[in-house]
Amino acid sequence: MKNILSLHKNGLPPKAYICPDIFKNEMREVFHKNWVFIGFKSSLSKPNDFITASIGGVPVVVQNFDGYLKAFLNVCAHRRASLQITDCGNRKLICPYHGWTYDKYGRPVGIPDNQNSFRIQSDNESNKIGLKEYELEICGNFVFVCIEPSRETLREFLNVHWDVIEHISNLIKFPLKNRKIPWLANWKIGVESVLEIYHVAQVHPETFKKFTQSRWDFSAQGKHSTGHSDLSPEAIKWWGRVRRLIGLPKSELLSDYNHYFIYPNLAIAVTNGTLMSVQTYDPVDSGECFLNYRLFVGETVETSSISGVHEDSIFNSVTTFNEQVLNEDRLISEQCQLNMNFVDNPAIMGTCEDRIFDFHESLRSDVNYGVL
């Protein structure tokens, strides 16, 4: 008789979720050495548009310099103030502390009282104190940054996901929601919450459970993975009615619940080819992360006189549903994080959680978690 325990696989040790030293190692080996999604090209369409983010603890700004997109350390060379202090916006790359202004090469080209106080004259002198620049590449509407010199191009890193991300980029037109929510949980627990549906019946009985069927297909592509679940007949009918009412477009390639995980922390979900969810679990420290999530649909085309009447109601329903599901995930994830302090053995994962195990194997290829 086959031993049922042979189906079990061990997850990461509990210390991987609570140890500050391991967290620092992950930031260096995982987030600094891999391409990390930072935002959307559409947010950087005009001169002086910018977005900011923290990648493995490193403050980064991506700025539009008259059509050139550049990624720099978001720290002034002068007295170390942050250059851009909001998540996004439109202003020159100018320090709010003393007014030092930077060009597309990261050089300070506007220094108040330069002649009397600093006398920085040549490009060579400016280059020496210029901003640290990071590699930036774009796939469709998705902007990625690599903190350390990349070992592969973004296309090589994304591999087979390049085409699907480009396809999803063409679907993303109209933003429904953009929120940044603190989770009192390690970033890996956040990622794990989106990599399997084994928990759905217990955690989401009145929400996500009614949305999909129980079958979940999974495949791994290097460090990334793909998940697929058939939608419930009710969900398919609902989305079909919504498209007819307000003229929403639908993907010709994606029709069920299609989920893509891009290592280390990007999750993209497409529902019935119509609703796009983009989530990142951004590390703060060993016991906290931010869930940064965005919801999108395509551009609506009015098909009847009742479109305007129903559009707000439909979009409010969609965002409320998604926020409820994410809050349910947050509560159980924070509970798991707290309990990591009281256990010694790694989690036991069945075949229904193979996608999490694959994520752990990818982490182990970058980080030495040691043994118990």
DSSP assignment string, 159-205: TTHHHHHHHHHHH--EEEEEEEEEESS-HHHHHHTTS-STTHHHH-T
Looking at the structure, tell me whether residues 168 and 144 fall in a common domain: no
Over residues 36-41, mean pLDDT: 97
Asked if the structure places residue 31 within a domain, the reply is no
User: Quick one: pLDDT at residue 309?
Assistant: 54
Q: How many angstroms separate the Cα of 141 from the Cα of each of 65, 138, 164, 172?
A: 18, 7, 12, 8
DSSP letter for 191, please: H
Q: Is the pLDDT of residue 241 over 50?
A: yes
Looking at the structure, tell me whether residues 195 and 144 fall in a common domain: no
Q: Is the pLDDT of residue 6 over 60?
A: no
189-240 residue pLDDT tens: 999 999 998 999 999 999 988 888 777 889 999 999 999 999 999 999 999 9
pLDDT band for position 371 (50/70/90)?
A: low
274-319 residue pLDDT tens: 999 999 999 999 999 999 999 999 876 554 444 555 688 889 999 9
pTM here?
0.93
Looking at the structure, tell me whether residues 192 and 113 fall in a common domain: no
User: Quick one: pLDDT at residue 2?
Assistant: 35
Structure tokens at 338: 């707290």
Q: Please check whether residue 109 is in contact with residue 125, taking contact to mean a CB–CB distance below 8 angstroms.
A: no
Could you list the residue range(s) of the whole structural domain that residue 75 is in? 36-149
User: Quick one: pLDDT at residue 129?
Assistant: 87
pLDDT band for position 8 (50/70/90)?
A: low
Using CA atoms, how far apart are residues 237 and 251, in angstroms rounded to an integer? 16
Domain count within the chain:
2
Using CA atoms, how far apart are residues 262 and 38, in angstroms rounded to an integer? 12
Asked if the structure places residue 137 within a domain, the reply is yes
